[in-house]
């Protein structure tokens, strides 16, 4: 057995990662290894008292590992008793702002880079649905979330974001966070105080995006990643703290202006990217659908399309489960294929 540092060229990182630190839900690192076992050493950076888990897919089989809230590094056995020979592994971040974690090293007989080829690049901006919260509560389709779930059912791997990327053989950055709305002082992220509520307008251009995390926030270098498709899934948490604001014309005009400002800023950076405006199947006030229709119409840009999921805003009171996420993933993948091959 040998120890390989996390900056080894065999490790292929995906997402808005800070060196070897995985930040957003769905961020991952892929590599090959040889031998009958695999261990990793990491530093967990907890931001919740709930449970914290990471995921790994080893030779096509998905696994879940609970992390300690203790400070400092910890070692996690990902696999043992494997057949001799070569194996592949993807370690991924199951949860969003529950934590960051830094990969320190891996222990195996050997490691090597995988032969990775992608057909396109995707980028997502969204909330808890896009981050994959509570997806694994599989017997709660169409129902409210189970009480006291404490993050144990969160799994970004089953979010429509990660799933659509698999269907399209796409690299992706999933810049999504539970409770996120468009505007600061709305939504649920970094609540409950209205003064601290943080929206997409303050996170879309960030690498480290959690204001209360150790070290605060940092800017993202947009030159590091240029997507072919950008998917906006915002407009479901925006009714908090004032659900009546959506019916106020002055407020909705302000909201639309900020939405377009962010989208156009990204468009100016990416040049050739296509943008897709959506909400998800999580139930929400239908007026938000009409506001997004207006945004798309007012932009009047052929590179910006509006996708209405078949059950957008209608399917479930709780977070979409695996089956409901798969429904969205398939519809999104079909939409992207039609854009690429009209």
Q: Encode pLDDT of 90-125 as tens digits.
A: 999 999 999 999 999 999 999 999 999 999 999 999
What is the set of domains in the chain, with CATH numbers?
A: 2-112 (2.60.120.260), 120-340 (3.40.50.1110)
Sign of the Cα torsion 292, 268, 183, 99 reads positive
Cα separation, 300 vs 294, in Å, equals 10
Q: Backbone dihedral region of 71: left (phi > 0), alpha (psi from -120 to 50 degrees) or beta?
A: beta
Q: What Cα–Cα distance (Å) separates residue 142 from each residue in 28, 135, 145, 159, 325?
A: 30, 12, 9, 16, 12
The tens place of each residue's pLDDT in the chain, 342 residues long, gives 899 999 999 999 999 999 999 999 999 999 999 999 999 999 999 999 999 999 999 999 999 999 999 878 999 999 999 999 999 999 999 999 999 999 999 999 999 999 999 999 999 999 999 999 999 999 999 999 999 888 999 999 999 999 999 999 999 999 999 999 999 999 999 999 999 999 999 999 999 999 999 999 999 999 999 999 999 999 999 999 999 999 999 999 999 999 999 999 999 999 999 999 999 999 999 999 999 999 999 999 999 999 999 999 999 999 999 999 999 999 999 999 999 987
CB atoms within 10 A of CB 107: 19
Tokens of 86: 């070569």
Count CA within 13 A, CB hemisphere, residue 285: 15
Which residues have CB under 8 Å from 290's CB, separation 6+?
A: none
Q: Angle CA(119)–CA(325)–CA(91) in degrees, nearest 5?
A: 60
Residues 238, 181: contact at Cβ < 8 Å? yes
């Amino acid at each position: 057995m040998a120890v390989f540092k996390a900056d080894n060229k065999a490790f292929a990182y995906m997402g808005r990662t800070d060196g070897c630190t995985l930040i957003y839900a769905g961020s991952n690192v892929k590599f090959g290894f040889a031998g009958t076992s695999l261990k990793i050493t990491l530093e967990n950076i907890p931001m919740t008292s709930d449970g914290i888990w990471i995921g790994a897919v080893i030779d096509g089989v998905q696994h879940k590992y609970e992390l300690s809230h203790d400070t400092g590094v910890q070692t996690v056995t990902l696999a043992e008793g494997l057949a001799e020979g070569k194996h592949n592994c993807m370690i991924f971040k199951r949860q969003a702002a529950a934590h960051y974690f830094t990969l320190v090293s891996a222990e195996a007989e050997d490691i090597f880079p995988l032969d990775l080829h992608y057909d396109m690049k995707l980028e997502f901006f969204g909330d808890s649905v896009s981050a994959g919260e509570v997806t694994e509560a599989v017997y709660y389709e169409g129902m409210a979330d189970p009480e006291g779930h404490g993050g144990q059912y969160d799994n970004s791997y089953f979010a429509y974001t990660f799933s659509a990327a698999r269907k399209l053989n796409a690299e992706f950055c999933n810049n999504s966070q539970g409770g996120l709305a468009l505007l600061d002082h709305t939504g649920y992220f970094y609540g409950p105080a209205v003064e601290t509520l943080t929206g997409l307008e303050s996170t879309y251009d960030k690498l480290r995006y959690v204001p209360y995390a150790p070290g605060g926030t940092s800017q993202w270098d947009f030159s590091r990643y240029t997507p072919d498709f950008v998917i906006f899934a915002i407009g479901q948490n925006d009714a908090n703290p004032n659900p009546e604001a959506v019916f106020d014309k002055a407020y909705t005009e302000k909201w639309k202006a900020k939405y377009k400002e962010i989208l156009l800023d990204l468009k100016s950076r990416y040049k050739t990217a296509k943008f897709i405006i959506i909400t998800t199947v999580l139930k929400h006030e239908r007026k938000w659908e009409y506001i997004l229709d207006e945004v798309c119409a007012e932009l009047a840009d052929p590179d910006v399309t509006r996708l209405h999921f078949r059950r957008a805003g209608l399917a479930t009171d709780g977070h979409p489960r695996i089956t409901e996420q798969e429904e969205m993933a398939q519809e999104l993948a079909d939409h992207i294929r039609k854009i690429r091959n009209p």
